């Protein structure tokens, strides 16, 4: 019994030590809530991303070889790509009183299939890429019962983290700042997060991985520019058709 309590406390300590920065990311996500990006998308995405992160660490428990840290650092490209997309494709917020009917009639499991949830999950997974080096040895040195207690602590604290971040956004000072500057701040936070992951993982020190990272981000920029050109062409025609 004592070793299970020790495993539980170890899981809590490991989660807090490796996920303090997630509070900031969740704060920014909750500040972006609108009729198309709901709180359930954030919570679902956070759980999906963290579950994927845990699955990536389980090979350590089974004694398999781990991916080299520089390769894990390539996950930093995900928040960079999302941040660049938000920077170039910022849209006006939809009024709160405009509630699409399909959002109300969707079943509960629709959140697992939504691109909004996958976007949050991708950022969560990428932000936790460095945690693989901590979680994998922790899992590898645990028995089945201890691993179960650690996972219970992990997934319970994911919910606590989401609740804490949501409550913080309800504070007047934080709400005012995030409402006023959140849309402009989020892209730069995501890009900075991705850059830090790349640097901390020493990914850019490998010439091959650095070239791969530049190529991927170049393709992302090319796709965004093409989409922007299409939007600039289609939007005036759409507005004209609506006014006719």
Mean pLDDT throughout 78-87? 76
Q: Which positions ≥6 away from 45 have C-beta within 8 Å?
A: 116, 117, 118, 119, 120, 121, 123, 124
Output the pLDDT for position 65: 45
Q: How far apart are CA 227 and CA 14, in angstroms?
A: 42
Token pair 């996920």 is found at: 19
What confidence tens digit (pLDDT) does each residue in 137-173 have?
677 777 788 888 989 999 999 999 999 988 888 887 7
Per-residue pLDDT tens for 45-62? 999 999 988 888 777 565
Name the more confident of 43 and 196. Answer: 43
Mean per-residue pLDDT, 77-97: 64
**Model-level pTM?**
0.62
Pair 200, 73: CB distance under 8 Å: yes
Q: How far apart are CA 114 and CA 107, in angstroms?
A: 12
Q: 115-127 and 2-31 helices cross at what angle (nearest 10)?
A: 120
């Amino acid at each position: 019994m004592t070793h299970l309590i020790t495993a539980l406390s170890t899981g809590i300590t490991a989660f807090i030590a490796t996920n303090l920065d997630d509070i900031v990311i969740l704060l920014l996500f909750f500040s972006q809530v609108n009729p198309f990006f709901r709180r359930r998308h954030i919570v679902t995405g956070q759980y999906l991303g963290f579950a994927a992160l845990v699955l990536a660490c389980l090979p350590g428990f089974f004694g398999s070889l781990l991916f080299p840290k520089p390769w894990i650092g390539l996950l930093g490209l995900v928040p960079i790509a999302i941040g660049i997309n938000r920077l170039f494709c910022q849209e006006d917020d939809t009024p709160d009183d405009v509630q699409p009917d399909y959002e109300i009639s969707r079943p509960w499991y629709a959140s697992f299939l939504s691109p909004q949830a996958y976007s949050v999950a991708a950022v969560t997974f990428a932000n936790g890429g460095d945690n693989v080096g901590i979680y994998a040895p922790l899992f590898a040195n645990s028995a089945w019962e201890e691993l179960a207690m650690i996972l219970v602590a992990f997934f319970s604290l994911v919910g606590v983290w989401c609740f804490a971040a949501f409550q913080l956004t309800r504070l007047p000072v934080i709400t005012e700042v995030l409402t006023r500057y959140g849309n402009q701040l989020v892209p730069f936070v995501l890009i900075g997060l991705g850059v830090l992951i790349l640097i901390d993982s020493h990914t850019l020190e490998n010439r091959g991985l650095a070239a791969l990272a530049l190529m991927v981000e170049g393709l992302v920029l090319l796709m965004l520019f093409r989409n922007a050109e299409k939007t600039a062409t289609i939007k005036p025609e759409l507005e004209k058709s609506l006014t006719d």
